Structures are given as C-alpha cells and as structure tokens.
C-alpha cells in the first residue's frame, strides 16, 4: 500500500523530468544516477520491517503532510524543483514509517542522493555554466596547443584545424558535472574503501574527478574531429556522454587503488 501511494506521486514526476529535462543531451546522466540510487535502496531493503515506534510514525505522517504540500504546490505551478523536493521528502517519510528512525538513518544517504536528480533551475545553471565552459575551453586549447595541434579558442568556440566546435551545455554542463559527482559519491557508498582516510580523500576528490572526466570527454571530441572530420566528431558526441560515466568510474577505481596502496605502504613504513 505504501509503495502504491508513493508510485502515484513518483511516477508523474519521473515522467515530467524525463520528457522535459532528461530528454536533453545535457541531462542524459540523470536516469543512470537514479539506477545507482535504486541499487543503494535495494541494498538496505532489510530495514523495511515495520518496526517504527509510535513517535516515528507520528513524525512520518507529519513529514508526509509537509511533503505533500510541497509536491502539489510545485506540480500545480510547474515548479519542478519544489515538486522534486516534495517527492524526496515523501520517500523519506515512507522509509521512516516502514523502517523507523534506524531505517531512515540507513537510507539517509540514498535519500540525499535523490536531490542530485532534481534539475537545477536555469537561472542558477546559466550563471555558473558560462565560467565553467570558458575554463574547459581554455584548458583543452592549452593542452592540444602544447602538444602541437592547431587548436585555438574564442570564448567557448574551439577552432580545430578546419573545423569549429562549440562547448555546449552537453559537453560542459553543470547537470553533467553534478550527475558525475553523484555517481562518484554512490561509488564510495556502494563500494566503501577499507580505510576511513581513503574514504575521506575520495569524497574530497569527487568534484575534481568528475571535472577531469568532463575534460577528457571534450578532449576526445577534439581529437576525433581533428583526425576524422566534423561528421565523426558529431557522431561520437552522444556516445561520449555515456562513455563519460565509464571514465569517471575508472578514475574513481584507479584513485581508490592508488590511495589504498599509498596509505598501506605508509603504514608499513
């Protein structure tokens, strides 16, 4: 019954997000992040044992009432961010109702990760996106120019030989970086390192590793465009969006292994 009630709220929101936001090339990572979050919830499924105390049940109904208010206000006004927050709070309230306070503590991290799936308001994204694209454009230009490629840039437009590439939202999107950061955090959560210090360092390095994966994506497109032409660069654009996730997971795995090795060697010294 709880699952059915949640589905009535969650499914329309997912449909709105999928058709309005996730269909854009700059938001293609969000469904994959959602899949990782579903795995995290599934791993904690044993906490849903209807062991909530009367106090927890009361708090759950209070939180559900507030969440419903946010949800219906956001949905009626097409305020999708408010609607999304309402859904996250409703899921947290349902977990509190079914699993009690201990269940909510166990599922707190996946609940927080759900916030990463909520689209960023355009006003916020645009104010942060332009400096980000400029930084990425200049960095890629400096790298290729240093190794002898005829690459220059004018703002967010890259001149690659006879071709021009524009750093679009899909290549240096804030949503993309946030999604990659979320995937990195979920990687640490689902596959925790054996050392606490490694966990802390990985969490601190998460934004930098996500940015590095984004940088590698743009660099790959520049390389393909220069050597194989503009059509090849365009064709590889969509594939790059998904390969970026594989890249960030490889970065996290390699960084984790390196940190484990370095700290292990230090402890034995």
Tell me the range of 84-98, 114-128, 180-194 where mean pLDDT is highest.
Answer: 84-98
Question: Residue 46 above 80 pLDDT?
Answer: yes
Number of Cβ atoms within 10 Å of the Cβ of 148: 7
Domain final position from 72, 90, 117: 117
pLDDT at residue 83, rounded to an integer: 93
Domain count, the chain: 2
- pTM flag (> 0.85): no
Given 71, 90, 117, the domain boundary residue is 117
Domain final position from 117, 132, 160: 117
pLDDT given for residue 41 in this prediction: 92
CA atoms of 16 and 79, how far apart (whole Å) = 11
Q: Answer yes or no: do 236 and 160 share one domain.
A: yes
148 and 58 within one domain: no
C-beta separation of 16 from 82 below 8 A? no
Does 158 score more than 70 pLDDT? yes
Q: Which residues contact 80 (CB under 8 A, 6 or more apart)?
A: 16, 17, 20, 21, 74, 118, 119
Distances (CA, A) of 63 to 73, 90, 168: 15, 7, 40
Check whether residue 93 and residue 37 sit in a common domain: yes
Domain that holds residue 184: 122-268
Asked if 151 contacts 189 with a C-beta cutoff of 8 angstroms, the reply is no
The larger pLDDT score, comparing residue 173 to residue 210, is at 210
Do both 169 and 80 map to the same domain? no
Query: Taking the mean position of all CA atoms in its chain, how far away is CA 245?
Result: 10
Same domain, 32 and 8: yes
Q: Residues 112, 126: one domain?
A: no
Q: Which residues pair with 157 in a beta bridge?
A: 154, 166
pLDDT score, position 188: 85
Please state which of the ranges 15-19, 49-53, 88-92, 239-243 shows the lowest mean pLDDT.
239-243
What mean pLDDT comes out for the span 6-26? 80
Question: Which is higher by pLDDT, 252 or 22?
Answer: 252
Same structural domain, 140 and 209: yes
Residue 210 has a pLDDT of: 80
Structure confidence at residue 200 as a pLDDT band (50, 70, 90): confident
For residue 3, the SS3 value is helix
User: How distant, in Å, are the alpha carbons of 130, 137, 144, 218 from that of 227?
Assistant: 28, 19, 13, 14
Q: What is the pLDDT of residue 170?
A: 47
Are both 103 and 191 inside the same structural domain? Answer: no
Whether residue 153 is found in the same domain as residue 101: no
Are 130 and 243 in the same domain? Answer: yes
The H or E element spanning position 112 is helix 108-114
**Strand (E) positions, the chain?**
151-154, 157-160, 163-166
- Nearest to residue 172, comparing CAs of 223, 213, 214? 214
143 and 261 co-located in one domain = yes
Percent of the chain with pLDDT over 90: 20
Q: Do 255 and 126 fall within a single domain? A: yes
């Amino acid at each position: 019954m709880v699952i059915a009630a949640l589905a009535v709220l969650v499914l329309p929101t997912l449909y709105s997000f999928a058709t309005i936001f996730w269909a854009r090339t700059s938001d293609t990572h969000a469904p994959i992040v959602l899949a990782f979050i579903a795995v995290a919830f599934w791993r904690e499924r044993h906490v849903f044992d209807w062991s909530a105390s009367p106090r927890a049940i009361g708090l759950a109904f209070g939180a559900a009432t507030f969440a419903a208010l946010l949800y219906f206000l956001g949905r009626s006004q097409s305020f999708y961010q408010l609607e999304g927050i309402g859904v996250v709070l409703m899921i947290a309230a349902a977990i509190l109702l079914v699993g009690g306070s201990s269940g909510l503590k166990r599922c707190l991290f996946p609940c927080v990760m759900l916030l990463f799936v909520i689209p960023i308001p355009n006003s916020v994204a645009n104010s942060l996106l332009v400096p980000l694209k400029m930084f990425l454009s200049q960095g890629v230009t400096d790298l290729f120019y240093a190794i002898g490629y005829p690459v220059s840039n004018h703002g967010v437009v890259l001149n690659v030989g006879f071709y021009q590439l524009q750093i679009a939202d899909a290549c240096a999107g804030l949503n993309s970086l946030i999604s990659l950061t979320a995937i990195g955090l979920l990687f640490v959560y689902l596959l925790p390192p054996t050392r606490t210090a490694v966990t802390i360092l990985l969490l601190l390095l998460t934004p930098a590793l996500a940015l590095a994966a984004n940088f590698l994506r743009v660099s790959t497109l520049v390389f393909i465009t220069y050597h194989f032409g503009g059509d090849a660069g365009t064709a590889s654009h969509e594939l790059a969006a998904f390969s970026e996730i594989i890249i960030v997971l490889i970065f996290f795995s390699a960084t984790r292994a390196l940190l484990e090795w370095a700290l292990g060697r230090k402890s034995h010294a």
